[in-house]
Amino acid sequence: MVSTQRDGSSVRQRVRIRFAKQGDLRLIGHRDLVRAMERLFRRAGLRLGMSEGFHPKPRMSFPSALAVGIEGHDEVMELELAQPPREASLLADLSQHAVPGLAFHRVELLPNEGRIQKARLTHVTYRIAIPEGRRQETSRRAAELMAASAAFVDRPGRPEPLDLRCCLDALGVEDGELAIRLRVVPGANPGPRDVLERLGLADLESQGVCLRRTAVEVTP
């Protein structure tokens, strides 16, 4: 399902969108977010590129699904439009129809030349506020973890533990918050909650402290 220009040529524009998912919206799952995005695009009057087959679906993808309960301050999604958009007007249209907790930051038109390559996730960064009385101990444990050659964590249903250290690029307390930067490698990857558990901070979220993903790095 592709629109055509006056000269008969097809229009299929790839777009990368940076957005935030905050507040109560952090409590919905990824599939619900996808459905909410589809409804938003329809309200904004956007014509989406569709997959082929008996049940065509919008051509949209997320390099990394955000876990329930975590806020996303700089999330990434890519989609295909069946119309020639302008970056400024597209961002304005999306922002106008955004639901509470959803904010659009940036729209980037991607080149359509050659074989389509989806964005590849390389790094993600998370932050969480640490109570003042626990910051010194957290800093000590974080330094010990970064100095270790390996740090294994068990996952239910997995026969082998995951090595936190192989994916942990940076870890430390900055301005009263724990900052976690994880490198994405092939295969199963540990997440920020694995790091919190290792540092003895697994109780923070249950106490109402919000875990936030502040950066999603992709290439190209």
pLDDT digit string (tens) for 70-114?
A: 999 999 999 999 988 888 899 999 999 999 999 999 999 998 765
The answer to whether 125 and 138 have CB atoms below 8 angstroms apart is: no
The pTM (predicted TM-score) of the whole model is 0.91
Is residue 168 very low, low, confident or very high in pLDDT (cuts 50, 70, 90)? very high
The answer to whether 9 and 46 have CB atoms below 8 angstroms apart is: no
Provide the residue type at 16 as one letter. R
**Cis check: omega of the bond before 220, within 30 degrees of 0:** yes
Going from the N-terminus, what domains does the chain have, and what CATH number goes with each? 3-110 (3.30.70.580), 120-219 (3.30.70)
Q: What is the pLDDT of residue 53?
A: 81
pLDDT at 197 over 50: yes
Mean pLDDT of 53-68: 91
Provide φ and ψ at 73, rounded to 5°.
-100, -15
β-strand 120-129 against 212-219: which pairing, if any?
antiparallel
- The number of C-alpha atoms within 13 Å of 165 and in the hemisphere containing its C-beta is 11
134-159 exposure pattern, b = at least 16 Cβ within 10 A, e = fewer: beeebbebbeebeeeeebebeeeeee
pLDDT at 52 over 50: yes
Lowest mean pLDDT among 91-95, 135-139, 186-190, 191-195: 186-190
Q: What is the pLDDT of residue 115?
A: 61
pLDDT at 10 over 80: no
